[in-house]
Amino acid sequence: MAETSVETKLVHKAPKRERRAWYFYDFGNSAYAAVVLLAVYVSYFKDTVVGQGAEGTRLWGIAVGIAMLVTVITTPILGAIADFTGKKKLFLLVYTSIVVIFTAMLFFVTKGNIFIGMLFFILAEIGYRDSQVFYDALLPDIAYPEEMGIVSGNGWAIGSAGGIACLVVVLVAILLVPADVLAGWLSVPIEQLPPNLVVRLSFVFTALFFALSSIPLFLRLKERTEPQKLPAGENYLSIAFKRLGETFRSVKNYKNFIRFVISFLIFNDGIIMVLNFAAIIGLVLYGLEQQALLIFMIIVQVTSVAGAWLMGIVADRMGGKRSLLISLFMMIITVAALYVFKSEVGFYLIGASAGFALTGVQSVSRMMVAQLAPEGKAAEFYGFFSIAGRTSSFIGPTIFGLVAAWATNRYIAQGQAALPAEQNGLYVALLTVVAFLIIGTILFAVLVKDPLRKHRIENRAARKAAKTPLS
């Protein structure tokens, strides 16, 4: 969000229980991302709800794109509401309820229910994305400015642990509760057992996991932001656009920052495409079953923690630009490896590399904003960076899904069987990912100056001057 005049009065350090409550919310919402967005529902929607073929990939791309587009439109308005009302917890409760309810409603999505399968997912995804606006806005209520980096990092790490925990529970359920065992527990003949019941119950479990994890925040965290009255003749929409205009006018004079944001918008879309279609890639190109996809996502989650931690150390020593280039090159090589490694083990290795690289890109990019922002304007520049990132986030997934479907249909028209055609269609679509990553990386490497280079030169000059005796 853009910098505002709202004052958060954090006079005394927030109690640890409030921070733990804030962390625990992230523990729950990361479970939604892991199960619904990245691993279980995406493959269930593509392979079972829609059925074989590239149509599922196309529709998934459209669903993700619609949810992202709605988020782009609503985020500035939600930011203004969060800034003025002082009721961030209330709005967080509303949007958390939306994501929890519609995640649970995915249980009712069965084979052929394409419309409600897309509708419930889009609504859950909108609730998830928009709730993050209010969740992030609570950070100043529990941390001083100098603590926000470490508190935010702790939340991210604990959130990743939540995603892993939920995935492990779902994996165990799928492995240890086959249809005949479940039929025995329910005392019904196996032929009367609803199809894919364990998978569908995993959506209900994820919703409960998220809901229970969010309770401590609503009970324990105290809002400290003073509510404000809207100026005469203003509404939240006009305030939102005025704030955006002020932010644009403020950052336009910082050309290095603008160049960084432009390059980020491009390579970050490549990252988003990889995240949103990883399960479909595993399903189609490698023939992975649901259990194998869950193992793959657990590997990605674990290595992502290592990537963020290690690249943070590298960035401290080498600078943000060099460390970000390392992560981007690693991400490009990882995507290119999909054309080389054809085995299941190879895909697991690719997932480990991707988890390491993509979180390196994301964490170092956030650090670059702090380095590029002028003193006293970090919050405003972070707000612009956040809004700009959401602005383009619907483009990549939509392009990937449409290109994959178009290429598949072309291969089928040329006489290829359905599965090879779909695989080749995905390989064509992956070229768009590579293109986004390479173009964004080149722009970043060529146009963006190392924000710490000047400081290093000045430090060397200062040390040299200190060693020179006065005449």
Q: Centre a 10 Å sphere on the Cβ of residue 372 and count the other Cβ atoms it contains.
A: 22
Is residue 462 over pLDDT 60? no
> Model confidence over 69-88: pLDDT tens digits?
888 788 767 766 776 777 78
Contacts of 317 (CB under 8 A, 6+ apart): none
Q: Centre a 10 Å sphere on the Cβ of residue 318 and count the other Cβ atoms it contains.
A: 16
Question: What pLDDT band is residue 145 in, cutting at 50, 70 and 90?
Answer: low
What percent of the chain has pLDDT above 70? 85
Kindly report the CA angle at 366 between 363 and 368, in degrees rounded to 5?
A: 110
Q: Centre a 10 Å sphere on the Cβ of residue 166 and count the other Cβ atoms it contains.
A: 27
CA 211 vs CA 82, 97, 102, 255: distances in Å: 21, 8, 12, 43
> Model confidence over 408-430: pLDDT tens digits?
999 999 999 988 999 999 999 99
8 A C-beta contact, residue 81 and residue 236: yes
The mean pLDDT value for 431-436 works out to: 95
> Model confidence over 314-333: pLDDT tens digits?
776 777 788 889 999 999 99
From 244, 236, 240, select the one nearest 388 (Cα to Cα).
244
Give the residues across from 229 on adjacent strands: none
Contacts of 56 (CB under 8 A, 6+ apart): 45, 46, 47, 49, 50, 280
What percent of the chain has pLDDT above 90? 34
Q: Tell which wins on pLDDT, 263 or 80.
A: 263
Phi then psi for residue 180, to 5 deg, are -65, -35
Q: What is the pLDDT of residue 8?
A: 46
Amino acid at 6: V
Contacts of 410 (CB under 8 A, 6+ apart): 425
CA 461 vs CA 236, 318, 324, 372: distances in Å: 50, 19, 27, 22
Amino acid at 166: C
Give the residues across from 378 on adjacent strands: none
Cα radius of gyration rounded to whole Å, the chain: 23
Q: Which region among 23-27, 148-152, 435-439 has the lowest average model confidence (pLDDT)?
A: 148-152
The mean pLDDT value for 132-154 works out to: 72
User: Which position has the token pair 């993509």?
Assistant: 358
Tokens of 54: 């590239």
8 A C-beta contact, residue 285 and residue 277: no
